[in-house]
């Protein structure tokens, strides 16, 4: 049986990737941010899983506005870093896990969630920046990754509750895999940010910290928050936060009788580019 040992949550600000790729992490602007991830990098070294199930959003890179899957699971053997206009980031190719990904697709679709199956795609900052934050600059990523792309770019986007219930289905799928695998699930994107319009630059520390508190202690209640509240409080791109509810739904305490997860690390920092950065590591007991 495969099992989910922990979940990781982190923002994916593209400028963080650029700061790492251009050797700027020690600059005064960036230093406090990267310091917040030092314990996380050590934790991941000490707790390297067999597979990371990485929930993220594509930013009209792999999927243009011609085709917009709500939920897409990567079943390929590998994924190349995308060219987002400045050339591909100089980071390793992402190796997939086709066997587990195909099993999850089978199980989750049979649990009535309609996934798009993706056998070829490039991965943008939504996926590579969380890996860079958690792993630094290795020659190869520490384990295979299953990319799971969620549409939070073009309305209509899925509700928080849909994401939370989907996380529970993914947990059930992983547990029914016939193979002894330690899996982590990562939820990425967020926190408050708005990139365009009169409110560009919006940051809401109070909302972000309330979101972190409730993600830990009241995820089912948090899943009831409607889109309009995210957009009003966290900005138009703050809606990326619904992806964190997929990872949270996959933790053990969302079963009846499951124990609350252990909070291994919590970090919040403003600003990184136009974005508030939030980060959590939750371990199943």
Q: Site mask, ligand DHB, residues 42-61, x = CB under 6 A?
A: -----------------x--
Interface residue with ligand DHB among 97, 193, 248, 269 (CB under 6 A) is 193
Which among 12-20, 168-176, 246-254, 277-285 is the span making contact with ligand DHB, rule CB under 6 A? 12-20
Residue 7 CB, shortest distance to ligand DHB, in Å, is: 20
Q: In the bound complex, what is the minimum distance in angstroms from residue 61's beta carbon to ligand DHB?
A: 10
Catalytic residue chosen out of the listed positions 12, 97, 103, 125: 125
Query: At 58, is the secondary structure helix, strand, or coil?
Result: coil
**Residue 194 found at the interface with ligand DHB (CB under 6 A):** no
Interaction between residue 97 and ligand DHB (CB under 6 A): no
Hey, is 50 helix, strand or coil? coil
Taking the CA atoms of 5, 10, 14 and 15 in sequence, report the sign of the dihedral they define.
Answer: negative
Establish whether 125 is a catalytic residue: yes
Nearest to residue 9, comparing CAs of 190, 230, 218, 148? Answer: 190
Residue 283 found at the interface with ligand DHB (CB under 6 A): no
Total of residues contacting ligand DHB (CB under 6 A): 11
Burial profile 232-259: b = 16 or more Cβ within 10 angstroms, e = fewer: ebbbbbbbbbbbbbbbbbbbbbbeeeee
Asked if residue 2 binds ligand DHB (CB under 6 A), the reply is no
CA pair distance 175, 181, nearest whole angstrom: 9
Beta carbon of residue 126, minimum distance to ligand DHB (angstroms, whole number): 7
Q: For residue 124, which of 158, 155, 92, 80 has the smallest C-alpha distance?
A: 80
Position of tokens 């991830």? Answer: 37
- 117 is written with which tokens? 């199956």
Catalytic: 265? no
Give whichever of 193 and 248 is closer to ligand DHB, judged by the CB atom. Answer: 193
Burial 45-69 (b: 16+ CB within 10 A, else e): eeeebbbbbbbbbbbebbbeeeebb
Query: Which region, judged by CB under 6 A, interacts with ligand DHB, from 13-21, 27-35, 71-79, 222-230?
Result: 13-21
- Quick note: the x/- pattern for ligand DHB over 57-86, rule CB under 6 A, is --x---------------------------
Across-strand partners of 122?
80
Q: Does 274 bind ligand DHB (CB under 6 A)?
A: yes
| Catalytically annotated residue among 12, 103, 193, 269 | 193
Written as one string, the DSSP assignment of 211-277 is HHHHHHH-HHHHTT--HHHHHHHH-GGGGGGHHHHHHHHTSGGGSTTPPPPEEEEEEEEEEETTEEE
- Report the residue number, 7 or 275, with the smaller CB distance to ligand DHB: 275
Enumerate binding residues for ligand DHB (CB under 6 A).
12-15, 59, 193, 195, 237, 273-275
Residues recognised as catalytic:
125, 193
């Amino acid at each position: 049986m495969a099992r989910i040992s922990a979940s990781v949550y982190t923002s994916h600000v593209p400028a963080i990737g650029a700061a790492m790729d251009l050797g700027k992490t020690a600059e005064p602007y960036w230093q406090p941010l990267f310091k917040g991830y030092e314990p996380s990098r050590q934790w991941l070294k000490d707790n390297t899983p067999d597979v990371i199930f990485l929930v993220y959003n594509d930013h009209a890179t792999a999927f243009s506005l011609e085709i917009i899957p709500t939920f897409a699971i990567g079943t390929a053997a590998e994924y190349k870093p995308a060219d987002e206009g400045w050339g591909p980031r100089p980071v390793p190719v992402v190796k997939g896990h086709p066997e587990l990904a195909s099993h999850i697709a089978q199980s989750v679709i049979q649990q009535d969630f309609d996934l798009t199956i993706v056998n070829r795609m490039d991965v943008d900052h939504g996926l590579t920046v969380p890996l860079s934050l958690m792993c630094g600059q290795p020659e190869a990523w520490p384990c295979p990754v299953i990319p799971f792309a969620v549409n939070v770019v073009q309305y209509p986007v899925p509700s928080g509750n849909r994401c939370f219930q989907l996380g529970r289905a993914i947990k059930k799928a992983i547990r029914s895999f016939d193979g002894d695998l330690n899996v982590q699930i990562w939820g990425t994107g967020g926190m408050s940010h708005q990139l365009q319009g009169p409110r560009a630059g919006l940051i809401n520390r109070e909302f972000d910290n309330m979101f972190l508190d409730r993600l830990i202690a009241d995820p089912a209640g948090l899943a009831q928050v409607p889109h309009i509240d995210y957009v009003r409080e966290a900005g138009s791109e703050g809606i990326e936060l619904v992806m964190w509810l997929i990872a949270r739904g996959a933790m053990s305490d969302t079963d009846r009788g499951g124990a609350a997860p252990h909070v291994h690390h919590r970090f919040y920092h403003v600003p990184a580019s136009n974005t508030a950065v939030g980060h959590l590591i939750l371990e199943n007991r």
